[in-house]
Amino acid sequence: MENMRLESYDEVAEILRECDNVTILTHKSPDGDCIGAGMGLCLYLRSLGKHANVVNSDGFPDRYDFLIGDYQPEEFEEKFVISVDISDTTLLGDELESYSGKIDLCIDHHGSNRFFAKKSYVDAGASAACLIIFELLEHMGADITLPIATNLYTGLATDTGCFKFQNTTPAAHRAAARMMEMGVDFEHINRKMFDIKSRSRVLCEQKLISDMRFFEDGQIGFMVVTNQVVSDYQIDRSELDAFAQIPLTIEGVRFGYTLKQQEDKPNLFKVSLRTTDADAAAICGEFGGGGHLRASGCTIEGKAREVIAKILEVTRKYL
C-alpha cells in the first residue's frame, strides 16, 4: 500500500483521537522544535487519558529541562508510532533506527520530507512543527495547558530565530499572540534560548569568529568548530547547534558555513549552511544533505581544509 499524504487537520485529528499507546519519535541532535512538538503532543495525548512517550536517540539536552518538566516515560505496549519534525528516517539516529518503516504518522514542516510514514501531514509553509501541532490542537478544540503551550512556543520561537528568519509567517506571529495569552513566559524562554551564554561560551565564539576564513570577497565564510576548541572552552555539545547562525552575522557574508568536527570521527564534519538569498537546500543536496531554503546541512568527510575546498567548488556555482 502506498504511503498516504494527509491534506487537512481533520484527517490528522481523527487519527490522534483514535490512536493509543503512542511512541513519539524526535530527530537526533534534538532541537527546540522537535522536543517542543514531541512533548506538546505527548502531554496532550496523556491529557486525554492515552498512554504516550517521547523518545530520542541522543537524549534531551539539559538546556531543555524546562520543557521536560516532570515528564516521566510510561510503561505500555506500543501500538502506534508518530514522528515529529523528521524529514527522513536517517534522522532517527542509531537508537531509533529500528523504527524505520514502522512509523504510522509523520507530522513535519520540511519541504524535503521523504514521506516515509504510512500517513504523513507535511506543511512546508509552516514555520515550525510546533506551529502545526498548535494549530491542530486548536482545531481539535483541545484544552491547551500552559506546559503544552510552553513547549509549542519554544519550538516556534527557536525555529524562527524568534520571528526573525525568512520562514516566519503571519500565522506564526498570530499563534505566538495566542500562546502568550495562555500565559507562556516568553521572556524567560527567549532569554534562555537566545540570549544567555556562559562567559566561556562567549569567549569560545570570539575565538571561532577570529579564526573564520572568508572567500570571494567575504561572501563565503567558514567557521570550523574543532573538538579541540569544544574541549578547551568546555562547551556542551548541545550548545553547538546555535553556532550555525554565527557566520551569517558577519557583514557581507551570503553563504555562512559552520563545520563541526564529529566527536568520535575527527575526519568527519557536520556542515551547516545558512544563506541570505541562495538555495541552501540545493547546495547541501549536492553533498547528500538537505533542509530548508535558507538553512540546510550535510555531512562531509576529510580534513577541515579538504572539506572547505569541496564546499567552495560547489558554492562558487551559486554565487
Interacting residues with its own copies (CB under 8 A)? 162-166, 168-171, 173-174, 176-178, 180-181, 186-187, 190-191, 194-199, 202-203, 205-206, 209-210, 245, 248-251, 276
Q: Tell me how far, at minimum, the Cβ of 52 lies from its own copies, in Å.
A: 30
Q: Tell me how far, at minimum, the Cβ of 317 lies from its own copies, in Å.
A: 24
Q: Tell me how far, at minimum, the Cβ of 245 lies from its own copies, in Å.
A: 8
CA distance 108 to 126: 9
Residue (42 or 144) nearer to its own copies, CB = 144
What type of residue sits at position 181? E
Residue (198 or 228) nearer to its own copies, CB = 198
Residue (72 or 210) nearer to its own copies, CB = 210
Q: Tell me how far, at minimum, the Cβ of 181 lies from its own copies, in Å.
A: 5
Q: Tell me how far, at minimum, the Cβ of 191 lies from its own copies, in Å.
A: 7
Q: Tell me how far, at minimum, the Cβ of 179 lies from its own copies, in Å.
A: 9
Residue (100 or 206) nearer to its own copies, CB = 206
Sort residue 252 into left (φ over 0), alpha (ψ -120 to 50) or beta: left
The string of DSSP letters for 291-308 reads E-SSEEEEEEES-HHHHH
Q: CA triplet 15, 20, 25: central angle to 5 degrees?
A: 80
Residue (184 or 230) nearer to its own copies, CB = 184
- The residues, ordered by sequence, that sit 6+ positions from 212 with a Cβ below 8 Å of its Cβ are 221, 222, 223, 247, 250
Q: Tell me how far, at minimum, the Cβ of 246 lies from its own copies, in Å.
A: 9
Residue (198 or 267) nearer to its own copies, CB = 198
Closest CA to 46 of 68, 83, 21, 18: 21
CA distance 175 to 111: 21
Residue (169 or 227) nearer to its own copies, CB = 169
CA distance 25 to 58: 12
- The residues, ordered by sequence, that sit 6+ positions from 119 with a Cβ below 8 Å of its Cβ are 3, 4, 5, 6, 11, 15, 104, 105, 106
Terminal-to-terminal C-alpha distance of the chain: 43
- The residues, ordered by sequence, that sit 6+ positions from 157 with a Cβ below 8 Å of its Cβ are 32, 163, 176, 186, 189, 190, 193, 194
